[in-house]
Amino acid sequence: MERVGILVVSYGARAAAMVDAFKRSLEYEVELYIADRQRNPFNVERAAEHVVIPDLDVEKILRFAERHRDRIDFGIVGPEKPIINGIRDLLEGRLKIPVICPTKRYALEGSKVAQRRLFQEVIPEVNPRFKVFDRAEYKSDEALRRDLEAWLDELENRVAVKPDAPAAGKGVGVWGDHFTTREGILKHFYANLKYGPVIVEEKLEGEESSFQALCDGRRLVPLPETRDYKRAFEDDRGPNTGGMGSYKDVDDILPYMTPEDWEEERRLVERLFRHLRGEGRNPELLGIPFYVAFIHTAEGPKILENNSRPGDPEIINILPLLRDDFVDICYWMLEGNLTRVEVEHKASVVIYKVPPNYGGFEKVYPERVRRGEVGGPIDLSEAYRLRERYGDRMRIYPASMELRDSEVYALRSRAVCVVGIGDSIEEARRISLEGVKAIRGGALWHRGDIASREHIERSIRHMEELRGHR
Ligand code: GLY
């Protein structure tokens, strides 16, 4: 077997899913060098060398890579922060390690304002109406306030408020969800304006989906569509989170999408890609430069935002289903030979368990938190027994979870996810939920309605209503 040394820059279960995909290689003897936010138990067990870099500082990652330079053939990066901070530019420039992620220049999520302007230039027909409010561009607070109020009048308060700087979806406020009065909008707006420019855009009515495509700099290869659950609580209530879970259907599209929606999404992202790529190949665009949040409206798909990295949890729906060897896929991207990626025709459901502080849960359900054993070790043994029974149909990926001596503890973010895989969404969900319920300790909680029949049917009905009004 050919040996391959891979540097993985890790944050969360997304990286554990990558590690798992690499370790399943049948053709390569994979040696992993993992730079992690904490001692993720899954990664520690599978790494040739594992280092903890809590802030994922790019210079520290570089020093780790330098120590193992002779053993590393290429790198891959999951989280956005090091991508935005130019990890690829550094590793390639100083150590000549090829890295799968976009260069700093193409880390489109570094600025939501620049992104909206790019969409306006290239695909204006799917860009919501927006205005950017930047304190530096106004003579006085009053002048900004006047413009803002006029814009809110024009949009009749039905707006989404988005800070320019990335906040993993958490700085975003939406009319009807996060505020229902003009005062509420202003409060959210000014809380964000302290940190930089803020976009105020029209709120779109529809159902969301996540588009991801692998890229070798020459071509885009779209992956099946997934649905993320951003809000903390059931029935899509509570604050935005990084994503409480997600699902993928058996084929490429989601139950509430049409084949035309899917075709349109691919056309739109391809236009964006060609605009950025220019002629021929632009190897600065490697990995997943386009993870696009679309919203399906009465007029078809519109674009909410783009991230230049894999989605978490969305990529976790896909990685366990790759038919091609993930190491080969990485080499195809690096060499500019990516023509196709085979994904099994299976449904998958990812459900996260999260700690009591996450999503403001402890404020809403203080008595449930008091009853739990907050902060104690997490017992994964029963879930791992189930995993043995289900084989490839269940995966358990620790995320914000730390190995201390021989026990694991949840930290402050999404702790661990279980992936269920089946011939239908229902079957995949049942497996995922069984795994989730078998994880004990730490007062961890989860959303019980991820991929539920009721939730999916609501999305289908919503789209039927919207399309009926077309
Ligand atoms: N699922 C949301 C994100 O990856 O940003």
pLDDT in tens, 273-288: 999 999 999 999 999 9
Residue 316 is predicted with a pLDDT of 98
User: CA 427 to CA 421: how far, in whole Å?
Assistant: 7
User: CA 315 to CA 311: how far, in whole Å?
Assistant: 5
pLDDT band at 469 (very low <50, low <70, confident <90, very high): low
**For the CA of 309, the nearest atom of ligand 1:** 4
**For the CA of 246, the nearest atom of ligand 1:** 1
Stated length of the chain: 470
In the predicted model, is pLDDT for residue 372 greater than 90? no
Q: How many CB atoms lie within 10 A of CB 153?
A: 10
Helices within 85-210 (DSSP H only): 87-95, 112-122, 141-154, 182-193
pLDDT band at 414 (very low <50, low <70, confident <90, very high): very high
**Tens-digit pLDDT profile for residues 85-120:** 999 999 999 999 999 999 999 999 899 999 999 999
Contact between residue 9 and residue 77 where contact means Cβ atoms under 8 Å apart: yes
Task: List the beta bridge partners of residue 348.
Answer: 248, 421
Placement of tokens 């991230």 in the chain: 307
Tell me the average pLDDT across 210-232.
Answer: 97
Is residue 243 lining ligand 1, measured as CB closer than 6 Å?
yes
**Tens-digit pLDDT profile for residues 302-332:** 999 999 999 999 999 999 999 999 999 999 9
pLDDT band at 171 (very low <50, low <70, confident <90, very high): confident
pTM exceeds 0.75, yes or no: yes
Query: What's the burial of 470, exposed, middle or buried (CB within 10 Å: 0-12/13-18/19+)?
Result: exposed
**For the CA of 169, the nearest atom of ligand 1:** 5
pLDDT band at 373 (very low <50, low <70, confident <90, very high): low
- Distance from residue 140's CA to the centre of ligand 1 (Å): 36
Helices within 40-133 (DSSP H only): 41-46, 58-67, 80-84, 87-95, 112-122
- Distance from residue 309's CA to the centre of ligand 1 (Å): 9
Is residue 79 lining ligand 1, measured as CB closer than 6 Å?
no
- Distance from residue 349's CA to the centre of ligand 1 (Å): 15
Is residue 166 lining ligand 1, measured as CB closer than 6 Å?
no
**Tens-digit pLDDT profile for residues 39-60:** 999 999 999 999 999 999 999 9
Task: For the chain, count helices (H), then strands (E).
Answer: 16, 22
Residue 365 is predicted with a pLDDT of 82
Of the chain, the percentage scoring pLDDT greater than 70 comes to 99
User: CA 179 to CA 188: how far, in whole Å?
Assistant: 8
Instruction: Indicate the average pLDDT of the chain.
Output: 96
Is residue 169 lining ligand 1, measured as CB closer than 6 Å?
yes
User: CA 152 to CA 364: how far, in whole Å?
Assistant: 30
Omega prior to 289 cis, within 30 of 0: no
Mutation test residue for ligand 1: of 312, 319, 352, 354, the one with most atoms within 8 Å of CB: 312
Omega prior to 313 cis, within 30 of 0: yes
Closest of 220, 336, 216, 215 to residue 267, by C-alpha: 220
Q: How many CB atoms lie within 10 A of CB 365?
A: 15
Residue 364 is predicted with a pLDDT of 83
Placement of tokens 């600025």 in the chain: 111
Tell me the average pLDDT across 233-239.
Answer: 92
User: CA 279 to CA 452: how far, in whole Å?
Assistant: 44
pLDDT band at 375 (very low <50, low <70, confident <90, very high): confident
User: CA 469 to CA 379: how far, in whole Å?
Assistant: 50
* Secondary element (H or E) of residue 23: helix 13-23
Is residue 168 lining ligand 1, measured as CB closer than 6 Å?
yes
Tell me the average pLDDT across 215-226.
Answer: 98
Task: List the beta bridge partners of residue 149.
Answer: none
pLDDT band at 169 (very low <50, low <70, confident <90, very high): low
Is residue 322 lining ligand 1, measured as CB closer than 6 Å?
no
**For the CA of 291, the nearest atom of ligand 1:** 4
- Distance from residue 284's CA to the centre of ligand 1 (Å): 22
Residue 170 is predicted with a pLDDT of 60
Tell me the average pLDDT across 163-184.
Answer: 85
Q: How far is CA 336 from CA 221, 245, 320, 409, in A?
A: 12, 32, 23, 41
Is pLDDT larger for residue 369 or for residue 146?
146
In the predicted model, is pLDDT for residue 137 greater than 90? yes
Tell me the average pLDDT across 443-459.
Answer: 97
pLDDT band at 470 (very low <50, low <70, confident <90, very high): low
Domains of the chain: 2-101 (3.40.50.20), 129-202 (3.30.1490.20), 205-335 (3.30.470.20), 347-455 (3.90.600.10)
In the predicted model, is pLDDT for residue 168 greater than 80? no
**For the CA of 310, the nearest atom of ligand 1:** 4
Mutation test residue for ligand 1: of 226, 308, 314, the one with most atoms within 8 Å of CB: 314
Is residue 460 lining ligand 1, measured as CB closer than 6 Å?
no
Give residues with Cβ within 8 angstroms of 147, minimum separation 6: 131, 133, 138
**For the CA of 210, the nearest atom of ligand 1:** 1
Is residue 312 lining ligand 1, measured as CB closer than 6 Å?
yes
pLDDT band at 265 (very low <50, low <70, confident <90, very high): very high
- Distance from residue 121's CA to the centre of ligand 1 (Å): 25
Cα four-point dihedral sign 327, 333, 334, 336: positive
Is residue 311 lining ligand 1, measured as CB closer than 6 Å?
yes
**For the CA of 168, the nearest atom of ligand 1:** 5
